[in-house]
Structure 1
Amino acid sequence: MISKKILSNGITLIQQPIENVKTCAIGVGLPFGSRHESKSINGYTHFLEHILFKGTKKFSTLQIATNIEKSGGQINGYTDKEEIFFQIWIPTDSLAIGLDTIVSMLFEPLFDPKEIKREISVVVNEIEAIKDDPDDLIQECNFQEIFQTNSLANPIAGLRKTIEKITPESIRQFYNDIFSTKDLIFTIVGNYKSINIVELFSELPIRSGNSPSFEAVTSYKNKGRVLKSEFNQIQILLSKVIEGTPSLEDSLKAQLCSNVIGETMSSRMFQKIREKLGLCYSVGSFYQDYNDLQFFQIYANTSEKYKTKTLDAMYHELESLKKGVTSEEWLIARSQFTGSLLLSDNDYEYHTKRLFNHCVANWPLLDTTQYIEIINSISDKDLEEYLERIVADSWIKVIG
């Protein structure tokens, strides 16, 4: 049974107890990412994610890692366009130290000047590494090309010139500005019956930062571009913006459509462009849900020799999809999706992220069985109608 409770300090606590297991996952996040940053602080959220691992009033940088890893546990964090998130997966008998560690990271960071100086170098190297990765680089270029001056185009890691200007005072001020307990969401999944979670999190101090806000996408560039590149391979991206705040059903329909279009080995794009034509090694599709839109992408990585043939084949498959999808294809897409959920059922880290994302989106908090029931209730007709929106004309082409 999944429960959600707003504590007296404003923290949202989501619990999914699972008995007869010996591990527990804790996730905690804020609905604040690179999209909520102004140009002058672009990259601060990602940098804050890094620096919260660099020592607290209780634990050194090394202790933060060893507290979790000495029991075989895992600790990690990530920043995205609309969120910053941390998670721990740890044996239940080490849960107390795991909770103590992640709470101290969030509520008692040191912002040590020496650590900040070192981490600036680390993040600058990360930014430069993106330029050497064709997949990452084309994604950044794609967002910037389509969303232009809107903050959705902000690179998650930020710009080198912005990161190099970070000071202990500026990153502490940023932390104070965004860190609000009324926006903080804790998710805990697994066996934690030995600890009174509600009491523990209720005792955390109230923090009063600013709630995140962003500039809604009211327009975007609906015209493609060919980018200069020094890479040996050609990156092709076809993108589609589907406007409007996505519902849970919209998200599930998009995933099922992506499974048919290019996300799986049995999909149209993979079978035609790689398996039958042999034009490229990497081809597929994926989508992303954002606050006010869905962003669907089809990609291929090929040689200069096959660039035109590959692009023609991608467009040909999109035209073919307009004629409809067989019931067998929808059945395979559903089975693949529901099967992947069953395989993820014991991945408690996955559940903490999913529950966090659903909470932020104001979607229902569902267990795996309930999730699968909704997927199976979506009719072929509903999927065909949603697919029509995706494969309609006006794809935005970016080649690099």
Structure 2
Amino acid sequence: MEKKLVKLKNGITFISQKLDNVHSVTISVNFKVGSLYEDQINNGITHLIEHLFFRQWDNLPQKQLYYEMQCMGAEIAAKTFHDYVSFSITVTPDSFIKAFKLITKCLNKFDWTDDIVKIEKEVVYKQIENDYQTFDNWIDSYYFKDTKYEKTIMGTIESVQSISLKDINSWKDKYFCSNNSCVAITGNYSDEDFLTVQNILSQINSSGKLAETIICYPLHFEKRNISNRYSLISNNTDISDITIFFDINKDYNYETVRLLSSILGEGCGSLLSMILRENYNFTDDIYTNLTCYCGFRRLSISFSVNNSDFIESLHHFFKSLVDFRKEISTNDYLTSINFFTKNQLFDLDNSNELNSNYVLCDFVLYPSVISEPIKRKEKYEKITLKDLKKYANDIFIAKNLSLLIQTNLDKKLVKNSIEKMIKTLYMTGCF
């Protein structure tokens, strides 16, 4: 069955897709809110509210909530992002209605008390103290420096301490409401069960309003030069960690950029892996990531090298880009295309992955990315070598390029060496 997307009268965005071939159903309830919507004073309030739901879920205290989840052989998972909050549960089809009734209770109107908030704040303080920053979060903190994205999702102990009970319940009423929500169901359910969940959703009272999407570009987006291109951090090792960013505006369709990045830097047979790892043994691995944000995208390419190889490895990196822009071969295309055409249908075997992808594409980032696997497959199949070459020439240019480098090498030497490479390539008409 094809994916369905409707806007209910009470404001809920309802996404559904029936998958007869799987043995599970994933249900998620999502809200457009996060640290992007906060300020320095209430930073962390969204994440705190995510926690509070598990302390009291509508009329269910924590112990009863956990009991009901575990009797179904499942648990509600929750995650707060910069721009949305997601609650999800995956169950067997026979528990679908029971799980749906349980998770959608978070759409009901209720308030928390001071006692509950005090207990949960202690949990969040400990989480903030023990926070381990992931690599992606670390590079985000530099790429988005001095923007709304720089605020942490959990906030600080000081900001969370200052959040009052009134602030919490007001924030919940404003953002955790029907008009600002998306409910998604993906998996194996009956037509009768579908009608039941539609009826349950339609009985939820309309509340609040849809939050305005926040588009927050990094500083100097597509305007990079020697004065704003670099984030240079000192370390005390003989290894330099390098991340190269490319700014990508919304006019470039996601699928072509995704295929381009795969050919360039994903997998053991990618062009950069073959040159930097296999041919010259500069690095053990190359990590490439194309990230979507509201209004734009970012391609990041990361690798580590010995300081003795720093200059030469970057020379080969930039030379590879120049060669890539000159020619993308049929063989290059064939090494990646099946991952995005044939393999695209793997998503239809995973109710959880499909659910989160629909929410991200059709609710959070809408309308910038195609969500349905079959339609994505069809779009990838239409991409030509000419399309790829045009994108490579448009994207891999100096004004889109910035770097995050952690090294104990002389900062001036690093900057001058890289700028000399860029200037040389620019003078030859390649950059």
TM range (shorter): 0.7 to 0.9
Q: Which residue of 2 aligns with 1:317?
A: 320
Q: CA RMSD in A?
A: 2.8
Shift of 1:170: 2.1
- 1:276 is the counterpart of 2:279: yes
Larger Rg: 2
Question: 1:19 offset after TM fit, Å?
Answer: 3.0
1:177 deviates by 2.1
Q: Distance in 2 between matches of 1:396 and 1:30?
A: 33
Q: Is 1:165 paired with 2:165?
A: no
Q: Is the 8 A contact 1:227 1:399 kept in 2?
A: yes
Residues 81-113 of structure 1 show CA distances to partners (whole Å, capped at 9, x for unaligned) of 322222111111111221122112343565354
1:43 is aligned to 44
TM-superposed deviation, 1:358: 2.4
Distance 2:91 2:170 in 1: 32
Percent identical across equivalent pairs? 19
Q: CA deviation at 1:42?
A: 2.7
Counterpart check, 1:152 vs 2:149 = yes
Residue in 2 aligned with 1:380? 385
Contact 2:100 2:197 in 1 (8 A): no
Maintained 8 Å contact 2:19/2:348? no
Q: Report Cα offsets for 1:33-74 as digits up to 9, x if no partner.
A: 322323333332233223222222332324434433433335
- Opposite residue 13 of structure 1, the aligned amino acid is F
CA drift at 1:241: 1.5
Q: 1:187 to 1:232 in 2, by over 3 A?
A: farther
Task: Determine the C-alpha separation between the residues in 2 that align with 1:323 and 1:118.
Answer: 60
Q: In structure 2, how many angstroms separate the alpha carbons of the residues matched to 1:213 and 1:305?
A: 46
Q: Match of 2:244, as an amino acid?
A: L
Asked whether the 8 Å contact 1:52–1:109 carries over to 2, the reply is no
Select the residue among 223, 240, 243 that pairs with 1:237.
243
Distance 1:245 1:398, change over 3 A: same
Match of 1:206 in 2: 206
Q: How far apart, CA to CA, are the structure 1 residues paired with 2:369 and 2:328?
A: 29
**Count of aligned residue pairs for this structure pair:** 393
Give the alignment of 1:113-128 within 5 angstroms.
Answer: 113-128=114-129
Label 1:7 to 1:134 Cα distance change in 2 as closer, same or farther (>3 A): closer
Further displaced range: 284-293 or 223-232: 223-232
Secondary structure, counterpart of 2:91 in structure 1: strand
* CA drift at 1:211: 1.7
Q: Which moved more, 1:284-293 or 1:317-326?
A: 317-326
State the partner residue of 1:23: 24
Task: Give the secondary structure class of the aligned counterpart of 1:52.
Answer: helix
CA contact (8 A) 2:144 2:218 kept: no
| Contact 1:269 1:284 (8 Å CA) reproduced | no
SS of 2:60 mapped into structure 1: coil
Partner in structure 1 of residue 72 of structure 2? 71
Alpha-carbon separation, structure 1, partners of 2:307 and 2:318: 18
Cα deviation for residue 297 of structure 1 reads 0.9
Task: Please give the secondary structure, in 1, of the residue aligned with 2:375.
Answer: helix
CA–CA distance in structure 1, aligned partners of residues 68 and 274 of structure 2: 47
**Post-superposition CA distance 1:210-266 (Å, at most 9, x none):** 6234355385273212123468854321112123366xxx11112111111212222
Task: Give the secondary-structure state (helix, strand or coil) at the position aligned to 2:159.
Answer: helix
Segments of 5+ residues of structure 1 without an aligned counterpart are none
| Aligned-partner residue type, residue 398 of structure 1 | L
The residue type equivalent to 2:73 in the other structure is G
Alignment gaps of 5+ in structure 2: 407-431
